[in-house]
Structure 1
């Protein structure tokens, strides 16, 4: 697996990463909220890339994994800056982002910021605009008051320890929304979504599919798959989606 390397961004954040050299397009894995680059999907895809001689990048956003900073100091916009910096500094030429959960939102932001670099897009339980449509929309009056008074709210998770959601994350998230304006994805796109996902709904996946525009876009629903989407069959589906997008560019 190799030693972890570090990139210091223009914002002064120190990002941990693993970069596999190989032929392009470079597959870039974008993890979820409070996830890190040591997760099952990231490591599985790295092993596949190495076996194929394919360029591959996985990294930790600031406040995640081995990178600098505290999670509660970060927000969607910070992690979008981290993503752009990692791609710009560590990769060359065409890329294929693979975004999981919050990483799906990051992949869509990346498509907006550097569309000419992308040859396609794969998302797994993509969670665009979740700070607004998931968190804020479902906060009780008491939670909104707590956020105003203390600057943060603790939310339970079915998949890990509770999330600490800050006022900054909510406010910044409103500047990063992708489902309100045109979302052009002019390349092959594959959205993967489990029907047993309790963090991201099938309705969210369908909304993204219907909102985005592009010449080659598909949503695959997997019965009984949960948000982790990391058992053997799901990993094979992710790999199949990646290979399908890459094949469309040959």
Structure 2
């Protein structure tokens, strides 16, 4: 991490109205395009190795970059247990619209891959409006986990866990990441996630897509990435399977591959 990246203080914006306003932390770097827009994973934040490496790369190449924390994550306000896919998507759209101009490369890791696909759909809708100031240059998806609340969580939970979620509203899931503390999987997360499922039909993002997937990923199996590619248009979609790669894909060689994919689109 360079000193300038380490010392960059976040900007805060308010997202949401009424009973659900959230204070969202954003780090935006001015520069030329295509800009880089980072979408982090479930329970991760914008100070992770991949996000910082991308910001450092953007700074070194004079490129614009934006990264932020979803509510309940990192430096943003809000309670993680209140989070849903729709809520975090609303925040992603708000940050994109406020901080991005011109063509952008959306870079999504794990849940951020789902967010990137959903955000791309929202951006395409907004591009039909004459005042849209930002557009899509491409997507780089790292161990993307579209529909994970249903396909990778709910369908794989044992009956007792499903019953606990249905009767109490949440289950504390053990974690091997971060400080190892269990984190809540709420009934609202599962049920609201069903409003945003993508894998049941074609996903036309209208731009190049690069997918990097570890073959030894214990959280998002490589078959999930293959299922996603079948839903994307055949032209200009490249899936790179990293045989010894895990879920994080944060090793120096993994980050080099990610940067190469971003540079290829840019």
TM surpasses 0.5: yes
The question of whether the paired residues in 2 share the 8 Å contact of 1:75 and 1:173 is answered with yes
Q: Aligned to 2:36, what secondary structure does the other structure show?
A: strand
C-alpha separation in 2, matches of 1:186 and 1:77: 22
- Structure 2 unpaired stretches of 5+: 128-134
C-alpha separation in 2, matches of 1:37 and 1:54: 17
**Residue number in structure 2 paired with 1:154:** 172
**Residue number in structure 2 paired with 1:194:** 214
1:119-130 alignment to 2 at 5 Å?
119-130=137-148
C-alpha separation in 2, matches of 1:8 and 1:24: 26
**Residue number in structure 2 paired with 1:86:** 95
How far has the Cα of 1:118 moved from its partner?
Answer: 1.0
The question of whether the paired residues in 2 share the 8 Å contact of 1:187 and 1:214 is answered with no
How far has the Cα of 1:155 moved from its partner?
Answer: 2.0
How far has the Cα of 1:214 moved from its partner?
Answer: 4.7
- 1:28-67 per-position Cα deviation (integer Å, ceiling 9, x unaligned): 0100001000000001110110111100001000110010
- 1:65-116 per-position Cα deviation (integer Å, ceiling 9, x unaligned): 0101010011111000000000001111221100000000000001111124
Query: How many matched pairs?
Result: 246
- Structure 1 unpaired stretches of 5+: none
**Residue number in structure 1 paired with 2:34:** 25
- 1:147-177 per-position Cα deviation (integer Å, ceiling 9, x unaligned): 1111001223333433310000001100011
C-alpha separation in 2, matches of 1:40 and 1:91: 22
How far has the Cα of 1:207 moved from its partner?
Answer: 0.4
Q: Does 1:137 align with 2:146?
A: no
The partner residue of 1:57 within 51, 61, 66 is 66
Q: Aligned to 1:114, what secondary structure does the other structure show?
A: helix
Please give the root-mean-square deviation of Cα atoms over the aligned residues, in Å.
1.1
**Residue number in structure 1 paired with 2:131:** none
- 1:163-207 per-position Cα deviation (integer Å, ceiling 9, x unaligned): 310000001100011111221122111000011110100000100
The partner residue of 1:165 within 138, 162, 185 is 185
C-alpha separation in 1, matches of 2:264 and 2:251: 20
The question of whether the paired residues in 2 share the 8 Å contact of 1:185 and 1:214 is answered with no
C-alpha separation in 2, matches of 1:211 and 1:158: 31
